[in-house]
Structure 1
């Protein structure tokens, strides 16, 4: 009887034990925070439909690439430990150039959520959407607005039927109706910002 009771206690203990990473009390990585802040700062003030000058874009792309190299080094060295570390790393790779960058961003966001970052759910959805679009597919959450030169901003290609709104809401993504209202507002703002052609 005693052995049976002990076995039951041990089974219960192992069943409710948290994963090792959940017990870590490591602080957020300061270097990752600096990289993330720089990634976000360069994008402040850029609105959809606005076309920054070529020199700015080239400099931003070069700096983005350098930040991805730094972040990858932190990742591979095991320096990223907390949910916030992984969430911030996901944003850095979300601003990549290749489908592999977006897929890694998605994996980083999933790891961030697994480590308790409730704010990582949106970037998990957004990175998957971007990966799908960049590989010739359709986004499924509706996080990506595309503004091509001479065309109105759009969410397409977009498979609106696969994911129900309840899942969008769970991941911090606006519902289909909210997305459509926002898209129409953006389209209106972009159209208003375009120069009026001279009258003949």
Structure 2
């Protein structure tokens, strides 16, 4: 009996010594919530209001600065932290912002956040477009000079629908349907 108790004690000791997983960074969660709140349910016409847009851009820059400080000081480490940071940098201004956002999204996926695969695709598309290349997943929309919305330039052939689906990106048929609906809606308001 004594040996059994000793064996149970020794087996339980590693479980007691394990450190709990790191907690999500509360400040990063707040920055993410702010980043998303300004973009939720904003009509396209509101994006023509330069005072609104300039304030959004200034707030975006401040969130990126703080997020970078959290990242560089090692305060971001969980899947949710990296996921949130990816969205903040996705709303950047430079190709480097989008490439960092892509890396953060990949880290979130690697840490187990499956839904981060969509932002990984979106950040790659935005990065590609900002270095003069065609997007490959079809996640980015443009409204050039009050024209109808478009996803161009877009290499529709590189990525098969099976991969789009695996990453949470709509299929080409669904994208085309969404585009037609958006174009019809915008044409009706002109």
Q: Give the TM-score taking structure 2 as reference length.
A: 0.87
Q: For structure 1, list consecutive stretches of 5 or more residues without a partner in the other structure.
A: 1-22, 195-200
Q: Deviations over 1:137-160 (max 9, x none)?
A: 000000011111231111110001
Give the corresponding residue for 1:64.
60
Say whether the 8 Å CA contact 2:46–2:52 is kept in structure 1. Answer: no
Distance 2:24 2:119 in 1: 18
Q: Deviations over 1:150-190 (max 9, x none)?
A: 31111110001100000000000000000000000011111
1:48–1:164 Cα change, 3 Å: farther
| Partner residue of 1:160 out of 156, 160, 166 | 156
Give the corresponding residue for 1:84.
80
1:122 aligns with 2:87: no
Query: Which ranges of 4 or more aligned residues in structure 1 deviate by more than 2 Å?
Result: 47-52
1:107 aligns with 2:107: no
Give the corresponding residue for 1:73.
69
Distance 1:31 1:119 in 2: 21
Deviation of 1:49 (Å): 5.9
Q: Give the TM-score taking structure 1 as reference length.
A: 0.83
Say whether the 8 Å CA contact 2:38–2:56 is kept in structure 1. Answer: yes
Give the corresponding residue for 1:191.
187
Q: For structure 2, list consecutive stretches of 5 or more residues without a partner in the other structure.
A: 1-18
RMSD of aligned residue pairs (Cα, Å): 1.3
Give the corresponding residue for 2:35.
39
Specify which structure has the higher proportion of helix: 2
Give the corresponding residue for 2:51.
55
